[in-house]
Amino acid sequence: MTKTMKKFDLKNQAFPGQETPGKNGSNELPLPDHIQDIKDSCPWFQRDFNLSEKDREVIRKYLDGLTDDEIIEIYYRMRDKKELWDGGYFYPNLQILFGTPFEREKDRREQKIWNEEYGESEVVKWYKEAKEKPCVWWLENHIIARHSLNSCMSCGACTALCPAAEFLDYNPRIIMETVQGKNEDAITQLLKSDTIWYCFQCGSCKTKCPRKNNPFGMISSLRQLSQIKGYHVYSIRGRQQYAARHLWGGNLWNRACTLYFRNIEVKTHRDFGPRHELCFNHKEEYFRKIGACPDMDGLLSGRKVHPETLHELRRLWQAGGALYLWEHIEDSAKKQADESGITIDEYHDKVKTEG
Amino acid sequence: MRVLVLGGGITGLKTAFTLSEFDIETIIVEKSSEIGGKVKRYDKIFPDFRSGKNLVKNLIASARNSPNITVLENSTVTNVAKNNRSYTASLSDGKIIEVDAIILTCGFEVFDATRQPEYGYSVYPNVITSMELESFLNPEGPTKGKLLRPSDGKVAKRIAIIFCVGSRNMKIGNPYCSRICCSYSTKQAIEIKENDEEAMVTCFYMDIRTYGRGFEEMYQYAQEIGVKYIRGRVSECSVLPDGNIQVRAENTLLGKPVQGVFDLVSLSVGMMPCVDAEELAGIFGIERGKDGFFLSKDDDLFPHDTSKEGVFLAGSITGLKPIRDCFLDAMSVSGRVVSYLTDLYKNR
Amino acid sequence: MKENNSLFSETGRESLWKRYIKDIPDDGYFLTLSCILGALYPGSEAMIPKVYDLFGLNWGTNPRPESGWSCCSGIAYHGDIMPIEGTLLTVARLWSIAQEIGVDTITMSCVTSFGIHCECRDLYENEPGLKEKIDRLLKQSCGREFEIPKYILHTSDVFYHYRNQLRDNFMKFQLIDKKTGTPLNVVDHVGCHYSKLFPEEHSLGGSEYCEVLSGMATAWGGKEIDYPERRHCCGMGFRQCMISPNRAGTMASVHKKMKSMSPFQPDLIITNCPGCQVFLDKEQWAIYEITGKKYFIPVLTYQEVAGILMGWDPYGVVGIQFHTVPVEPLLDKIGTPYNPSEAWLGINKRQVY
Ligand SMILES: Cc1cc2nc3c(=O)[nH]c(=O)nc-3n(C[C@H](O)[C@H](O)[C@H](O)COP(=O)(O)OP(=O)(O)OC[C@H]3O[C@@H](n4cnc5c(N)ncnc54)[C@H](O)[C@@H]3O)c2cc1C
Ligand code: SF4
Ligand code: SF4
Ligand code: SF4
């Protein structure tokens, strides 16, 4: 390798067309838009699970009152607001937007628009067809399921090492047995149960199977099927997918990463201990100190991705069927929320905290 | 009339002996320094628990005493040439012999347990193979018949026997069942129990395939004297600070993962084709099956014939068999060879 | 643990792991980073380019700012909100960036990502027509083309590859107790998706006696500890750790490992998977709160271990303040200097508390 690669300044990577940030930006971490006022008067920027009935009403009324264009416009205007900090651009509003009812509403609407604009890809067509077919058809045709089961001799080598089997009411061997049985009712029942959602997706089983089966892959495929069919909402663990769709899905869609560093909030991660709290109360300082870019342009932990990169990825996820799946999860959740007479925001908070 | 018997295990010995009773001259060519094969290492053999060593001793004696049998040890065939009706075989020690027929009785090889690294063979000293267990059980063996743990020489009281090591496993390319490890493991479990009442033996199995006459009864007896059977394939062995081995499996009948702690773990290794299988197939120009064992011309009609006229197969070279079946094979191949030779000489 | 020696044969282990070796090219890496590591141990991530630069290696993350690396979507895939096609496309785009840079080696700091890349490659090999389909979709959606890269490496493979040079040329300290002169007891925890998914093709040392971390640990002076639950999953479990009511399974798994390793008196745990790193470290606090048992065994990524041994600033470069279990006792053992009063200072050593 003789060609020397062009290096970018990992810490301060400016986007084209932007003036290079000066060295002297402020020392003080820029604050987001009037964060105090927003939190009190605009509950749609709240991530608290224990919102009052009244607040929830306010959220819905506000969000329902916005047109698609408005909500998208407000979101991006807020998102793109930047200020100089420690020699780089800091985007102070990212921290109020992420994971809020506001962002979720924006995503719902924006994704609908994307789906309309770019149409159905061949992948989406396949999934739409699969939805109408029996589960057994899926097992024989879905790319992952199809390669995951040759034949199971029920030896239990998979279960022996399975961390989920050790602590939960779960047994991958029995799942493989059920799948092998090709009984539509039994499989449907499995898809509606909590069982498939217990798997840790660790892959310990895959290494050990003497028949070269792959319970790890099979379970992953069954979970997709459960969601495509809308069966996941029948179980507590399954309907958590609605929270996952907005947690990981929201991160991907808006920040091109599945996990965003602000997700590890102190109040939801008490088990991480007091040092975590010390650290996360001033995470921007510590991130910056070691050369990362919290909510900044730049590579390391930046998560403020280049607009074109984000656009490419969104196109890929749309073509790859993710938006179709998310829409599905959304619809199933909405239906269940309506049936239980709660708002979708309340539903979100409920599935994220029950279990 | 002269026949070359390649491999001096029980199959080879019995074949040579049977042919000698028809006044046919045989030359046993044995690769190792002593004829007798694997069975001479077994103190007891199933299903009737008679002495394997003595059985072989008698066979060896009758072979050595027979005027019709020549034994060539430390030797093997390196090349054969077919003449009009006979074969000229070159041996590794430089000898060249001319024979009318060749019978391959090179037996089998036990599976190399390090190929399933999850069991820790060669890493944890207290994990041994069934072949090693045979020698532990032998009163004339290194431990004088006692089960002494390799790590610290303490008497092992809790023993796990893991079935199907190297068999029924597509991952390592051995999808077949080795057929007799269920039986020999059960035999070993009984021996352990009978030597030491306090010993606890646990067998981890997938299916118990004690298929022969008297084999299932042996399994039943083992259970009656307290050998425990747990249905589940062992996933992993690991070592505890005191050298004990932790074994993980699922008790599939209860549907629960289990972890057992044992002083000693024996791996019931399955069969592999004999080490020289590939070379021999080349030398003789005969075929092997997908499993690596030699193929006969027709499993049902010509179980001993190969695709080459005058080259025959017998014993565990076509797949593992208990001793009893090896004897049967030896006698039936003799019948086949006698008729072949008679034909050959009639047409001269 | 002195007796341990007779219970564990180093030569036996060596003969086993040596069956699984893979080619590691010396230079020319496309680097993709990790969501989890970046979110929780950003120091570990920042040290990867630093170490690449120590050796003057050619590496890149993006040929043009618009053509940037992204998350591989692996957590979303294993968390079941991303269909496999979405992940295949995300990865295909990354591969196409590698091509744009002109390298055929892709290195990633995340083990989930590593598993995903290997999985994608495996699917292309086993599913006729898949490559064409993904080619088509990638072209349609963002006008890119891709080839399957020749080498898929985890960054720990690269560190392993350079472990001796790192030690000989850059390290000022060793994994040796400064006071007693004895090697520190190092427990390795290799990420499941590194060693268990494709042990034959992609893992250094296979799944049972994986060498990638213990090789580094022993090269850097430590003593490898083999303990019963060595290969047990850390319990991260994607959806299990993310949704807090599910996290009990994670805690239980970590607890199981801790119980199993503590008789061997480990001085540190070394990890190569961001997810394992997080939960082995963080959940020790939860275990303490629930059971009252203080395991508090420092958990470090291989980058952090390397950084500390090279004498890099523990708070300014390595980032040990991100750890739940304090790393300072380990620094004392190794004998690296540090100033505890700097632990919670911000940029340019300014006071934030
Ligand atoms: C642990 C264990 C316990 C067992 N216990 C029992 C039991 O209790 N009862 C029972 O019925 N069965 C038992 N068996 C099965 C028994 O071992 C076989 O049935 C028997 O050994 C088969 O005999 P054989 O002559 O076909 O092969 P082998 O015993 O393998 O003999 C083959 C001979 O050929 C020689 N040879 C190999 N290659 C060449 C070559 N290229 N040139 C020249 N010579 C060569 C070998 O050196 C060997 O002497 C057990 C098997 C095992 C593994
Ligand atoms: S390890 Fe394989 S064969 Fe055995 S029970 Fe599990 S899936 Fe079935
Ligand atoms: S991938 Fe799932 S089923 Fe397989 S061992 Fe891990 S938790 Fe168990
Ligand atoms: S005989 Fe028994 S132990 Fe041997 S491979 Fe067959 S089932 Fe397994």
B136 and B256 assigned to the same domain? yes
Cβ separation B117–C208 shorter than 8 A:
yes
B126 and B245 assigned to the same domain? yes
**Domain boundary, last residue among B239, B270, B301:** B270
Can you say how many angstroms the Cα of residue C197 is from the centroid of all Cα atoms in its chain?
15
Cβ separation B233–A210 shorter than 8 A:
yes
Q: Is the pLDDT of residue A299 over 90?
A: no
Q: Is the pLDDT of residue B106 over 60?
A: yes
B121 and B257 assigned to the same domain? yes
| Residue whose CB lies within 8 A of the most ligand 2 atoms, among A148, A158, A162, for a mutation test | A158
> Which CATH number does the domain housing residue B299 bear?
3.50.50.60
What share of chain B has pLDDT > 70, as a percent?
Answer: 100
Can you say how many angstroms the Cα of residue B317 is from the centroid of all Cα atoms in its chain?
9
* Rounded CA separation C142/A319 (Å): 10
Least confident of A303-307, C58-62, C74-78: A303-307
Cβ-proximal residues to C28 (8 Å cutoff; 6+ apart), any chain = A1, C57, C58, C59, C102, C103, C104, C105
Is the ipTM higher than 0.90? The answer is yes
Highest mean pLDDT: which range of A83-87, B77-81, C1-5: B77-81
**Based on the structure, what is the number of domains in chain B?**
2
B45 and B138 assigned to the same domain? no
Binding-face residues of C in 228-247 toward B, CB within 8 A: 228-231
Which pLDDT does position C60 carry in this prediction? Answer: 86
Average pLDDT over residues C252-257: 95
How close is the nearest chain A Cα to the Cα of C72, in Å? 8
As a whole number, the mean pLDDT across chain C is 93
B137 and B83 assigned to the same domain? no
Cβ separation B123–C231 shorter than 8 A:
no
B102 and B234 assigned to the same domain? no
B90 and B235 assigned to the same domain? no
* Rounded CA separation A312/C67 (Å): 9
Which pLDDT does position A9 carry in this prediction? Answer: 55
CA neighbor of C304 nearest in space, from C280, C283, C331, C282: C331
Which domains can be identified in chain A, with CATH numbers?
A: 38-118+240-353 (no CATH), 123-236 (1.10.1060)
Cβ separation B241–C206 shorter than 8 A:
no
* Rounded CA separation C196/C115 (Å): 9
B262 and B117 assigned to the same domain? yes
By the CB < 8 Å criterion, does A264 face chain C?
yes
Least confident of A251-260, A301-310, C121-130, C241-250: A301-310
Residues carrying CATH 1.20.1050.140, chain C: 29-155
How close is the nearest chain C Cα to the Cα of B88, in Å? 41
Answer whether CATH 2.30.38.10 is correct for domain C163-345.
no
**Whole-prediction pTM:** 0.94
What share of chain B has pLDDT > 90, as a percent?
Answer: 97
B279 and B266 assigned to the same domain? no
Residues carrying CATH 3.40.50.11810, chain C: 163-345
Q: Is the pLDDT of residue C312 over 90?
A: yes
B258 and B282 assigned to the same domain? no
* Full domain range(s) for residue B126: 113-270
Which pLDDT does position A89 carry in this prediction? Answer: 84
Choose which CATH entry (2.70.180.20, 3.40.50.2300, 1.20.1050.140, 3.40.50.2020) describes domain C29-155.
Answer: 1.20.1050.140
B154 and B229 assigned to the same domain? yes
B266 and B118 assigned to the same domain? yes
What share of chain C has pLDDT > 70, as a percent?
Answer: 98
Average pLDDT over residues B191-219: 96
Whose C-alpha lies nearest to ligand 4, atom 2? B182
Confidence of residue C65 (pLDDT cuts 50, 70, 90): confident
List own/partner pairs for A228-231 with CB under 8 A and 24 or more apart. Answer: A228/A127, A228/A130, A228/A131, A228/A325, A228/A328, A229/A131, A229/A135, A229/A191, A230/A328, A230/A331, A230/A332, A231/A188, A231/A191, A231/A192
